[in-house]
Structure 1
């Protein structure tokens, strides 16, 4: 594997989130064509050695990720960013046109919902504002970015 491919592989492996091809190209001072060749080389190398890793593409962003068939083996060791309850809360808020009030969350997730909600707020996934005698919680732009939700993906889901 050439030096550029090694650098790109190291960057993609080290990043927490997928990175845009243009960002990596600019950082390394290479063209997007060179980046594309390197990505193909990295992918080919993983396939040739039957690696448990592969290059994941998410739109025009990339990340080194685990092959789907390996996920069941590592599941107990994966540090989860969100609990199942937190994901359910995010999903619920999103499905309620992107916002929900405290009472709805308490009714659906129990009286201990506030602890999870605080973690979601600290993580930038939801915001809160005073609404009458309660609070209204809304999913944020960061939520949409993290879960790759935009108008185009929403239209595709509806079809």
Structure 2
């Protein structure tokens, strides 16, 4: 890499390539500099983006610094970029869909404690409805029409035996 590239431009490339918030320490490590130089570079980069008419901005969040599309373009992002779920959240969503409705406690037994992070994300995205179950202290979870529309699924197969579909299976036999 040419030696005359400023630290701000190097940090810009790092934030773009990593695509997630990075702490100042991580930025300094990737940039091969100390924390104060990385901080100066971040400040310069943030100032550069603030001065230009750009769709991008560098922001500081609780997770670190990131390069992102300005909030003015949120509607455009929602239109052009499909929802991106992590593997864990996607597996949790699949479990909810296959067992819908399912109690959150049963889902935790099935998928583990990661469910506590996945369910709020899935509810916020509109894929899952969460309601207090009247028969227990848990929540009842089920997929929403948005789930069916987004994943273009008309009807999910019942592949896991439940008392209801076991009785139906017996009647069919």
Q: TM-score, normalised by structure 2?
A: 0.49
Q: Equivalents in 2 of 1:69, 1:139: separation in Å? A: 35
Cα deviation, residue 53, structure 1: 0.9
Asked whether 1:77 is paired with 2:80, we answer yes
Structure 2: give runs of 5+ residues left out of the alignment: 122-173
Alignment counterpart, residue 112 of structure 2, candidates 138, 152, 156: 138
Alignment counterpart, residue 56 of structure 2, candidates 41, 46, 53: 53
User: Which of the pair has more CA radius of gyration?
Assistant: 2
Moved over 3 A (4+): none
The match for 2:44 is 41
Q: Equivalents in 1 of 2:102, 2:114: separation in Å? A: 21
| RMSD of Structure 2 on Structure 1 (CA) | 3.6
Q: Residues 107 and 11 of structure 1: is their aligned pair in 2 closer, same or farther, counting only changes over 3 Å?
A: same
Q: Equivalents in 1 of 2:81, 2:71: separation in Å? A: 14
The match for 2:163 is none
Describe the SS at the equivalent of 1:136: helix
Q: Equivalents in 2 of 1:23, 1:63: separation in Å? A: 12
Cα deviation, residue 60, structure 1: 5.5
Are the aligned partners of 2:14 and 2:31 in contact in 1 as well (CA < 8 Å)? no
Alignment counterpart, residue 30 of structure 1, candidates 4, 28, 33: 33
Describe the SS at the equivalent of 2:9: helix
Alignment counterpart, residue 100 of structure 2, candidates 74, 88, 106: 106
Cα deviation, residue 108, structure 1: 5.4
The match for 1:11 is 14
Structure 1: give runs of 5+ residues left out of the alignment: 91-100, 110-127, 130-134, 148-159
Q: Residues 77 and 139 of structure 1: is their aligned pair in 2 closer, same or farther, counting only changes over 3 Å?
A: farther
Are the aligned partners of 1:21 and 1:35 in contact in 2 as well (CA < 8 Å)? yes
Kindly tell me the number of residue pairs found equivalent between the two proteins. Answer: 107
